[in-house]
Amino acid sequence: MESAVSSLALVPFLVVGLAGCASAPELDHNAEVTKAVNAHQKEFMGCYKKFGAKMEVFVTVKYQINYAGDMRFVEIDPSTSKASTPAMDNCVLQEFKTLRMPEVQGYDGARGSYTFSFSTEK
Assign residue 97 the CATH number of its domain.
Answer: 3.30.1150
Contact 79, 105 (CB under 8 A): no
Nearest 5°: phi and psi at 98?
-85, -10
**Is 0.75 surpassed by the pTM of this model?**
no
Pairing of strands 4-16, 110-121: antiparallel
- List, for residues 42-62, the tens digit of each pLDDT value: 998 899 889 876 788 888 998
- Report the number of distinct structural domains present in the chain: 1
Contact 118, 46 (CB under 8 A): no
Residue 95 has pLDDT above 90, yes or no: yes
Per-residue model confidence (pLDDT) at position 104? 66
Range of 13's domain?
Answer: 4-121
User: 9 vs 56, which has greater pLDDT?
Assistant: 56
